[in-house]
């Protein structure tokens, strides 16, 4: 059973449709990259997947027991986040907020999860440091640990490597890939980085208001639309 199934969804802002008649699905342990030009509707789709913007038409069906508040989300970096005046531990722990419901305190399980994920991402030594003093790559690891605290099944990442240098970028992609392969957590990633997309993705959704292509990464590489987009890859990087 698919974790997410989008059936003929349309999404609009004040009556203006920006995503139209879009269908695709995300299976367990899939690694789906969403690609497309600026303004093609990628961030809007992410908002709908998170339940922040209801589709005007069609349905988003969550399966395999996935709940909307159990999607581990790593947002695009904003300046506000970069200056967040909290410790690494507090930022990671705040990933448990969604599943906390109305409990006023973090539980022992919440704290255990936070430590587990800090260890998994090799940031346990940074735990007392202030988030805003970290390097870009360390910040992304912290936000990834935070996202992992929120989910067992699905990570949703919106252009996660923007602003990182090439070596740190490659390390970050390898980390995501390891989490996907070892823990079987499905990955949905909005990406501008075509080369890395093709290195890691199992599935591609090429968006241009609707799906120009949805299917396996291998089929995308063989498709006309895929070949045209990949040839122009350097313009989109």
Q: Which residues, listed in sequence order, are joined to residue 207 by a DSSP beta bridge?
A: 211
Task: Determine, following the binding rule CB under 6 A, whether residue 13 of this chain makes contact with ligand ADP.
Answer: yes
Shortest Cβ 103–ligand ADP spacing (Å): 33
C-beta of 35 vs 186, nearer to ligand ADP: 35
Q: Using the rule CB under 6 A, which residue among 6, 32, 41, 220 binds ligand ADP?
A: 41
Q: How many residues of this chain bind ligand ADP (CB under 6 A)?
A: 10
Which range of residues in 2-10, 42-50, 83-91, 146-154 is near ligand ADP by CB under 6 A?
42-50
Task: Determine, following the binding rule CB under 6 A, whether residue 197 of this chain makes contact with ligand ADP.
Answer: no
Which range of residues in 31-39, 149-157, 174-182, 212-220 is near ligand ADP by CB under 6 A?
31-39
Which two structure tokens, joined as six digits, stand for 6?
Answer: 């989008």
**Three-class HEC string of the chain:** CCCEEEEEEEEEECCEEEEEEEEEEECCCCEEEEECCCCCCHHHHHHHHCCCCCCCEEEEEECCCCCHHHEEEECCCCHHHHCCCCEHHHHHHHHHHHHHCCCCCCCHHHHHHHHHHHHHCCCHHHCCCEHHHCCHHHHHHHHHHHHHHCCCCEEEEECCCCCCCHHHHHHHHHHHHHHHHHHCCEEEEECCCHHHHHHHCCEEEEEECEEEEEEEHHHHHHCHHHHHHHHCHHHHC
C-beta of 43 vs 98, nearer to ligand ADP: 43
Shortest Cβ 205–ligand ADP spacing (Å): 11
Q: Using the rule CB under 6 A, which residue among 1, 8, 39, 51 binds ligand ADP?
A: 39
C-beta of 38 vs 78, nearer to ligand ADP: 38
Shortest Cβ 187–ligand ADP spacing (Å): 18
Task: Determine, following the binding rule CB under 6 A, whether residue 95 of this chain makes contact with ligand ADP.
Answer: no
Residue numbers at the binding site for ligand ADP (CB under 6 A)? 13, 18, 36, 38-44
């Amino acid at each position: 059973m698919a974790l997410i199934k989008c059936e003929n969804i349309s999404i609009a802002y004040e009556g203006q449709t920006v995503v139209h008649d879009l269908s695709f699905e995300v299976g367990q342990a899939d690694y789906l990259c969403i690609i497309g030009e600026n303004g093609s509707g990628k961030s809007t789709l992410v908002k709908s997947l998170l339940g922040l913007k209801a589709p005007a038409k069609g349905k988003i069906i969550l399966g395999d027991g996935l709940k909307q508040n159990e999607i581990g989300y790593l947002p695009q970096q904003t300046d506000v986040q970069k200056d967040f005046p909290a410790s690494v531990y507090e930022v990671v722990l705040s990933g448990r907020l969604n599943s906390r419901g109305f409990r006023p305190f973090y539980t022992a399980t919440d704290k255990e999860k936070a430590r587990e994920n800090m260890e998994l991402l090799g940031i346990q030594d940074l735990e007392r440091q202030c988030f805003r003093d970290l390097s870009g790559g360390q910040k992304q690891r912290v936000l990834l640990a935070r996202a992992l605290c929120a989910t067992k099944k699905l990570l949703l990442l919106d252009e996660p490597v923007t602003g990182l240098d090439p070596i740190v970028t490659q390390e970050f992609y390898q980390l995501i890939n390891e989490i996907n392969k070892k823990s079987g957590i499905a990955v949905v990633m909005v990406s501008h980085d075509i080369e890395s997309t093709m290195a890691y993705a199992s599935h591609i959704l090429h968006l241009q208001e609707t799906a120009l292509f949805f299917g396996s990464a291998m089929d995308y590489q063989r498709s006309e639309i895929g070949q045209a987009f990949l040839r122009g890859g350097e313009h989109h990087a």
